[in-house]
Amino acid sequence: MIPVLAQHVDPVDPGARTGTTPAEAIQAVGARGSLVNHSERPVGPSEAAAAVRRLGRAGLVAVVCAGTIERARALAGLRPPYLAIEPPELIGGDRAVSTARPEIVAGTVEAVRAVAPGTRVLCGAGVHDRRDVARAIELGADGVLVASAVARAADPRSAIAELLAGF
């Protein structure tokens, strides 16, 4: 089974919280965790820290997103299980960060490992095929974070198989 993540989590208790997504709601629908600080839903440092803690307490995975090496270095201090580098200008596009801006992937891997050696680095933004995945792994990433390549595919199963072939 492919692990599915929620797009966003709010660090709030469940209950009367209209417009928020508590970790428990994510857990109840069977998702494995959530993105935190995606460029389309950025949060401040204290909210990111609270969301990572909340997900951890619920037994869910936090994938903290960063758009730059500097931001990745700062967010690595939260010691999340995963940190994804996703330059906003490449998200949902036709060019993968691993080929268009490989120095960002390699630099993020180095920066994150220096701060939080246990945090696994993912490469996102424009990852579409096995070549993009293989290049991300060559640059030191532990894996990839993908949405558009599968969600927009005419045949999502084939798109997933193509991406997995890069490992």
Residues marked active site are found at 38, 86
The closest of 86, 62, 60 to 72, measured between CA atoms, is 86
Q: What share of the chain is helix, strand, coil (3-state, %, to 5)?
A: 40, 15, 45
The closest of 5, 131, 102, 2 to 63, measured between CA atoms, is 5
| Contact in structure between 11 and 50 (CB atoms under 8 Å) | yes
SS (H, E, C) 68-120: CHHHHHHHHCCCCCEEEECCHHHCCCCCCHHHHCHHHHHHHHHHHHHHCCCCE
CA distance 88 to 165: 26
Q: What is the DSSP letter of 65?
A: E
Q: How many CA atoms lie within 13 A of 62 on its CB side?
A: 28
